[in-house]
Amino acid sequence: MACTLLPLFLLTACGEEVPLPPPESRPVKTMLVGGVTSGNFRQFPGVVDAIQKADLSFRVQGKLDEILVREGDLVEKDQLLAKLDPTDYQIVLNDRKASYATASANYERAKQLVAKEAISKVEHDKIRAEYATAKANLNAAEQDLIYTTLKATFPGYIAKRHVENFEEVRRKQKIFTLQDTSELEIKVDLPETLMIQLRRAIDPGKVTKPKRVMYAVFDQIKDAKFPLNVKEISTTADKNTRTFQATLKMEQPEGYNVLPGMTATVFAEVFVSEGGDGVSVLLPLSAVISDPDKNATVWIVDDNTMTVSSKPVKAGTITSNHIEVTGLDIGEHVVTAGAAFMREGMKVTLLQTGEQPGEQP
């Protein structure tokens, strides 16, 4: 019976198409150069501040006579905010006017007398000096009277009132804090490694807008990203934290009441250069392969064929977990796990934790 069934089995098998085994395909983890979910982005806590702010004070002392605005009021430039009692300054001004009138009359007579040689030039010069002093004192008294009024130096909001009405205030004592929130600043502290990258992205000697992706996210505003631009970067590290403060500028978002003092999370792309050699970016150490001659390569996944090919790169600064490499292009998928087992043209499958082909920031 076995001999009879064997030819039938072989005949049946020959009549069917036997499927070939699938080509070798290795699962890999990748990183999209320029992708939001890649290692090209770092996040930092930031604090919102007004684009312009000032503590307003009187330039003379006296008793507050009237406060004309409240906290939260929107004011225009040169709008009157508060007044001091001007009585004492008006009395001084009246006295200076009388002294100036006398000195002016004496000087006019002296000019005529010295021409007739009725007085000496020394007497004439003395009277002229008294006239100049009286005029200067009059100007100072007039200016002090003007200083009994406090005006807004720029349009903005009264963020804080520091005194009560009818108080005796000192010269240069804070009366109001004025803030311009038409634009906002976000201040973040950057570590040395990222500071080096940001400074390279900026022309030496001046702060420009580097072509990098930076945005702010607020916990209270869901699914919203607010673009940022570099305003200024400190070149001196904090003595305690060894970090550098960067000031980033953000447009006041429409429909949201973002105010100074609020906290945000800043996401910053860490590309450091871009040119004929491609971009320079931080990669995990596991993504870069080096040979005995110290040549560095990475494996790039072709989105269409899902095969890998090696690409030479130039290695740069090494941190604890990352290495800076130059020579990549935005949009390339770099193998970050399993690079040591790749070979030219190998079929790969992206892990679920990796980037998907064509994903953009």
Structure tokens at 18: 């036997």
Q: How does DSSP classify residue 253? A: P
Pairing status of strand 347-350 against strand 25-32 = parallel
What confidence score (pLDDT) does residue 28 get? 85
What confidence score (pLDDT) does residue 320 get? 60
In order of their start, the domains of the chain are: 25-39+274-350 (2.40.420.20), 42-52+182-270 (2.40.30.170), 86-147 (1.10.287.470)
**DSSP, residue by residue, 168-188:** EE-TT-EEEEEEEEEEEEEEE
Average of per-residue pLDDT across 111-131? 94
State how far the alpha carbon of 99 is from the alpha carbons of 87, 91, 132, 231, 275, in Å: 19, 13, 11, 53, 73
Average pLDDT taken over every residue of the chain: 83
What confidence score (pLDDT) does residue 82 get? 98
Q: What's the first-to-final CA gap in the chain, in angstroms?
A: 68
Please count the other Cβ atoms lying within 10 Å of the Cβ belonging to residue 48.
19
d(C-alpha 127, C-alpha 135), whole Å: 12
Residue 101 has pLDDT above 80, yes or no: yes
* Cβ pair 83, 65 in contact under 8 A: yes
What confidence score (pLDDT) does residue 32 get? 79
What confidence score (pLDDT) does residue 315 get? 85
What confidence score (pLDDT) does residue 19 get? 53
Q: pTM (2 decimals)?
A: 0.63
Torsion of CA 326, 331, 335, 337, to 10 degrees: 100
What confidence score (pLDDT) does residue 181 get? 93
> What pLDDT digit, counting tens, does each position of 233-285 carry?
888 888 888 888 989 999 999 888 899 999 999 987 655 444 445 566 778 88
User: Distance of alpha carbon 265 from its chain centroid, rounded?
Assistant: 12
Please count the other Cβ atoms lying within 10 Å of the Cβ belonging to residue 337.
17
What confidence score (pLDDT) does residue 361 get? 36
**DSSP, residue by residue, 11-22:** HHHHHSPPPPPP
pLDDT grade for 129, boundaries at 50, 70 and 90? very high
Long-range contacts of 273-277 (CB under 8 A, 24+ apart): 273/200, 273/201, 273/326, 274/211, 277/314, 277/326, 277/327
pLDDT grade for 163, boundaries at 50, 70 and 90? very high
Average of per-residue pLDDT across 202-209? 46
CB-based contacts of 136, cutoff 8 Å, min separation 6 = none
d(C-alpha 35, C-alpha 29), whole Å: 14
Residue 203 has pLDDT above 50, yes or no: no
Residue 16 has pLDDT above 80, yes or no: no
Please count the other Cβ atoms lying within 10 Å of the Cβ belonging to residue 156.
23
Of the ranges 50-54, 231-235, 315-319, 346-350, which one carries the lowest mean pLDDT score? 315-319
The label of the residue with tokens 């929107």 reads 74
* Cβ pair 309, 297 in contact under 8 A: no
What confidence score (pLDDT) does residue 223 get? 84
State the alpha helices, DSSP H only, in the chain. Answer: 2-15, 87-115, 121-146, 192-200
CB-based contacts of 145, cutoff 8 Å, min separation 6 = 86, 89, 90, 93
Please count the other Cβ atoms lying within 10 Å of the Cβ belonging to residue 130.
17
pLDDT grade for 24, boundaries at 50, 70 and 90? low
Torsion of CA 35, 38, 43, 48, to 10 degrees: 10
Residue 290 has pLDDT above 70, yes or no: yes
What confidence score (pLDDT) does residue 200 get? 52
Average of per-residue pLDDT across 167-183? 96
What confidence score (pLDDT) does residue 76 get? 97
d(C-alpha 54, C-alpha 179), whole Å: 7
User: Distance of alpha carbon 195 from its chain centroid, rounded?
Assistant: 13
Pairing status of strand 80-84 against strand 149-151 = antiparallel
Residue 209 has pLDDT above 60, yes or no: no
Of the ranges 33-47, 116-130, 136-150, 230-244, which one carries the lowest mean pLDDT score? 33-47
